[in-house]
Structures are given as C-alpha cells and as structure tokens.
Amino acid sequence: MPDTTAEYQATIGLEIHAELKTRTKMFCDSLNDPSERHPNVNVCPVCLGHPGTLPVPNEEAVRHVIRVGFALGGRANEMTKFDRKNYFYPDIPKGYQISQYDKPLIEGGMLLGVRVRRVHLEEDTATLAHADGASLVDYNRAGVPLMELVTEPDFRSADEVTAFARELQLILRYLGVSDANMEMGQMRIEANVSLNMGTKVELKNINSFRAVHDATEHELARQEEALRRGEKIAQETRGWDEVKRRTVVQRSKEEAHDYRYFPEPDIPPFSAANFDLEALRAEVPELPAARRERFVREYGLDAAMAEALAAEPAMADYFEAAVSEFRTRLPEAPLLTLYHYLTTDLRGLMNQAGTAFDALKVNPEHLAHLAALIEEKKVTSRQAKDVLLRMFEGGDDPEDIVRDEGIGVTSDTDEVEAVVLAVIAEHHAAVVDYRKGKTASLQFLIGKAMGKLKGRARPEMLREIFERNLTA
C-alpha cells in the first residue's frame, strides 16, 4: 500500500527482459526455438561469435518491440542504433553483448500510472550448466532476441510492482510478441529498490511473480531497519532466498562491471521510420484493459469475471464466440449461465484431462446451445453436467444428445402427477410426518420422485404437485 505520509517512502524502478517470439535469432538465421532440448543445435558461426562474422538485425524482432512501444504509448526513435556491452563470461561468446545504449528503439510510454523510460532490443546469452566439476555451455539461446523495458522509479509498493509485471506479461501475450513465461525464464524481472530515492539495491535472478513481490517487500523492510539503526545502504545486487525468506548479497559495487559501451560498428544506425509505423500501430490489438472494460459493458459481467476472462485470451475468445451463438437464440437472456459453464464446469473438465482450448472437442456454439437449453429450462442443471461430460468426450451438439438419449425436462404434468401419486402411496410414513408439520419430509418425497423421473422434472413443478396432493 502506498503511504505518502511515511518517513520512508518506497521508490522502485523495474528492468524487465522478455524473450521475443521470432522464427530466427536476433542477428543470424539460426532458429529461435525455446522448445529445443538437444544442446547446441540451433547455432551458427554468427551466434557462436566466430571472428569475421557479421550480425544482421532481425526485422521481425524490431517490429515486435515497436508494437510493444505503441501498445504502451511510447515513441519510436527517429534514430536508433546498437551498441556493444563488453564483459567476459562464457555465456557471451563474442566477449560482448549487442544491446542498445543511448538510442533505444522506443522511448516513453505509460502503464498503470508508471512511466516507461525506454524499450530496447538486445540478444540473450547462452545457458550454463554445472555438473561434476565441469561447466557446460548450451548456445541454443545465445543470440535469441530479447527486449528490455526500463521504467522510471515510480513504484511505491511491492503490490504495484507485481500488478505492473502481470499486466505487461498479458500485453506481451496479446501482442503475440512473447510467451513471457516467468518460470521458463522467458520473462525476467529486476527490481531496483530504495527508500526516498536513496542508494538502490538491485534484486535479480528471481523467477516468479510471488517471489519478486516477497523479495521486494522484505528488501524494503531490511533497508528501513538499517536506516533506522543509522546504517548506510550498500549499493549491491541481491537475490532472494526462498527458504530463509530474505534477500542475500550476490554482488557488491566493487565487483560491478564497467561495460565500456561503444557503438556497434557492424550495424549502421537506422530510423524506426524505415518500418511501416502506421501499419504496426494498426496491428496493436485490443489490449487487456480495453477488453475487460468491454466485457463489463457489452456482456454485463462484473469486474472480477471480466478480469478472469481477459487474463486468459484463449478462454476470452471462446467466450465471445459462444456469446455470439447464444444471442442468436436468446438475445435478451443474461450470460451468467454461459460464463459459469465455461469457467467452472468446462474448465474443470479441461483441467482434469489436461486439455487446452485448441484441442477441445466442445466447440463454442455447442456450449452456447447447452446454456440455452438450461436457460430455457429444457434441461436441469444436474442433467446439464452429464450432457457436458458427453460433449467433452464426444464433441456432440447437446441438442442431439438430449434428443437421442431422451434427456430433458418433461412438461407433461400428467406424467409427473402419476409419479407423485405413486411416491405418496409408497412412502406413507413420510407423508404422515409431513402432515404433522415435518417439512423436511417433502424434500425427501421430491427426491424420490425426481429419482423415478431420472431428473427429468423441474423441482418447482414437483413441489407444487406434491403440495397440492398432500394438502388435499
């Protein structure tokens, strides 16, 4: 919670990296395939850093970053360039990383009230594995396009940090530029944490939203305690110890790198205007915030429902397709039944079976038909669950299932009345109890009748017919 009266005001800025989804790598035509399990398959002399090779920027990656910039309200630079960031480590085969220093592709922008300083392009590093005293290097990831977004130090709490990071993740997914999976390292968050814009500590190598949140909160508390004791905050990089639940030093200022940035001589500066900026702007789809707002306005959902749908684009698309079919049947009916059957019942079956939306046999039109059958009281909610299970297994239209299996609610009052009279005759004791005032007995009798009718009656109709016959 932001607290502007506090003596120690949290001041936090983020640096967020995301691996971009492109066919090939940032500066060569080796494949960018994060699913490749065999090491050192997607490599070539360029991404292995052989002398004499030349980098050629990947235009798809440039377009992705411009899309991100536009989605956040930033500007694409008239003049942008690449720079070499020099350091020596086995994960960086050339001895430098090609990044962007003073002329990033994108400057400015805003998300959830936080100012975006810049978004630039660089290349990812190789991955290292340490085993049996040896270090192994896999260059499949070396040279994969990486975007880096830097914010101003506008965050005032750990909650604001994770809200921003989650929203950015969703935007990257809506744009289709990154899968941005934190656990898979496709999105990495570094939090620069200080109090009152004092000396900042950089929190690094933390790979879940939860951990970023907790680490930030603990770091703020640690700094406040230190300052209250009259100590100085050391400028350093810290990680998060999940077990001890505290931040721990990884690197102090003395060990900090001097990257000796200088312009990449093998790639001429260029203008973002060389790309069709108006076309790229037009390609930015409806973003999560707009989608939530529209779901509330057009579909009458509450904010939490709209949020849940927008957070899962595949489910949101499915819902919209189902709504469009549902409304051709019942233009005025509320959409809550449809929403619940999708997000609870169908979702539950999918989770159990491990089915994703693109492999789902139930199509949106069929789910809409089921919701319409329920809404029109042609099937009870108990029957609907069975029908949905059949739909899930076989992909049939619920209308066919209901017709072929003789499922459905009977509107034949004579049939229901006959069953009621039979139940009354068979359960004399319950009838006597009910007449003595034991209302629970009525529920028992309704249950018996419902059983005989195999669930094909509306409970209200049964109750009414029982009451009429029992008080006669």
What's 341's DSSP letter?
I
* Shortest distance (Å) from residue 198 CB to ligand ADP: 6
Q: Given the complex with ligand ADP, which of 220 and 360 has the nearer CB atom?
A: 220
What the block records as the tokens of 207 is 């790979």
What the block records as the tokens of 84 is 């070499």
- Identify which of 137, 156, 231 has the alpha carbon closest to the alpha carbon of residue 196: 156
* Shortest distance (Å) from residue 250 CB to ligand ADP: 16
Q: Does 401 bind ligand ADP (CB under 6 A)?
A: no
- Identify which of 454, 455, 427, 456 has the alpha carbon closest to the alpha carbon of residue 466: 427
Rounded Cα distance, 209 and 170, in Å: 13
Residue bearing tokens 């429902």: 305
Binding residue (CB under 6 A) for ligand ADP from 30, 100, 194, 237: 194
Q: Given the complex with ligand ADP, which of 168 and 305 has the nearer CB atom?
A: 168
CB 314 within 8 A of CB 357: yes
Of the ranges 51-59, 147-155, 252-260, 347-355, which one interacts with ligand ADP (CB under 6 A)? 147-155
Q: Does 398 bind ligand ADP (CB under 6 A)?
A: no
* Position with the least CB separation from ligand ADP: 13
Q: Does 107 bind ligand ADP (CB under 6 A)?
A: no
CB atoms within 10 A of CB 315: 18
Q: Does 99 bind ligand ADP (CB under 6 A)?
A: no
Q: Does 12 bind ligand ADP (CB under 6 A)?
A: yes
CB 18 within 8 A of CB 119: no
Q: Given the complex with ligand ADP, which of 21 and 156 has the nearer CB atom?
A: 156
* Angle at the Cα of 362 from the Cα atoms of 357 and 366, rounded to 5 degrees: 130
Residue bearing tokens 């500590």: 201
* Shortest distance (Å) from residue 197 CB to ligand ADP: 4
* Shortest distance (Å) from residue 119 CB to ligand ADP: 12
The number of residues that bind ligand ADP (CB under 6 A) is 13
* Shortest distance (Å) from residue 338 CB to ligand ADP: 43
Binding residue (CB under 6 A) for ligand ADP from 41, 79, 197, 290: 197
Per CB under 6 A, contacts with ligand ADP among 151-180 are: 151-153
What the block records as the tokens of 2 is 């932001």
Q: Does 221 bind ligand ADP (CB under 6 A)?
A: no
Q: Does 42 bind ligand ADP (CB under 6 A)?
A: no
In terms of phi and psi (left: phi > 0; alpha: psi -120 to 50; beta: otherwise), the region of 358 is alpha
- Identify which of 404, 414, 416 has the alpha carbon closest to the alpha carbon of residue 457: 416
| DSSP assignment of 415-460 | HHHHHHHHHHHH-HHHHHHHHTT-THHHHHHHHHHHHHTTT-S-HH
Of the ranges 5-13, 240-248, 400-408, 460-468, which one interacts with ligand ADP (CB under 6 A)? 5-13
Q: Does 192 bind ligand ADP (CB under 6 A)?
A: yes
Q: How many CA atoms lie within 13 A of 325 on its CB side?
A: 17
Q: Given the complex with ligand ADP, which of 14 and 416 has the nearer CB atom?
A: 14
Q: Given the complex with ligand ADP, which of 11 and 140 has the nearer CB atom?
A: 11
Q: Does 143 bind ligand ADP (CB under 6 A)?
A: no
Instruction: Give helix 413-426 / helix 440-452 axis angle, nearest 10°.
Output: 120
Binding footprint of ligand ADP on the chain (CB under 6 A): 11-15, 150-153, 192, 194, 197, 200
